[in-house]
Amino acid sequence: MQTLSLTGGFRDAPKDAAFAFRAVMNAMAKPGEINSVAGAEPPAGLSIAAGVILLTLCDPETPIYLAPSLDRPELRDWITFHTGAAFVAASAAQFALGTWDELPLADFPLGSAAYPDRSATLIVEMDDLRAEGATLTGPGIKDSAALSLPERAAFQQNAALFPRGLDFIFTCGDRLAALPRSTKVS
């Protein structure tokens, strides 16, 4: 394990994790709303927001899938040191991390009618994240919201599976926004 993997975690773990958890839950509760987070300094090639999410939501019981471009020793070592999470194939993942084009959507667990909570949450690294583009409606949105999604059809198909389906957290720099499976996209 390289020395770099030992750094970059939360400086004040309880406080930083609490603020980060609140930002993630706020994003999930208010789809399309963009939140800023801080506290992590992940390895190069991973956004601050994605690093913060991993440090906040993952632990030794959390199986993670890494897309090929992020499946590097320095990132694996960093995640292992700071969270203890195991790396798995997409079909066994609770969380996945990668760019939109690299994530094999059809391979991730969607949950079941009896256990819809056994689905994956995908952390999608984006080049740009704006409150414009696709129109979002559903729980947590007063009238409608907008978010710059990589496409619309996949999210429309995902919402049709509700209560099953994938949840998404989009990251760019120190910002994140969420799209739960209950959100309708047009």
pLDDT in tens, the chain (186 residues): 454 556 667 778 888 889 999 999 999 999 999 999 998 999 999 999 999 999 999 999 999 999 999 999 999 999 999 999 999 999 999 999 999 999 999 999 999 999 999 999 999 999 999 999 999 999 999 999 999 999 999 999 999 999 999 999 999 999 999 999 999 999
Residue with tokens 């969607």: 110
The three-state DSSP-derived secondary structure of 38-100 is CCCCCCCCCCHHHHHHHHHHCCCCCEEEECCCCCCHHHHHHHHHHHCCEECCHHHCCEEEEEH
Q: How far apart are CA 78 and CA 152, in angstroms?
A: 33
What is the pLDDT, as a whole number, of residue 8? 64
What is the pLDDT, as a whole number, of residue 9? 72
- Structural domain count, the chain: 1
What is the pLDDT, as a whole number, of residue 7? 67
What is the pLDDT, as a whole number, of residue 13? 81
What is the pLDDT, as a whole number, of residue 153? 97
pTM: 0.94
Provide the residue range defining the domain that includes 24.
Answer: 3-185
CATH code for the domain in which residue 11 is found:
3.40.50.11310
What is the pLDDT, as a whole number, of residue 6? 62
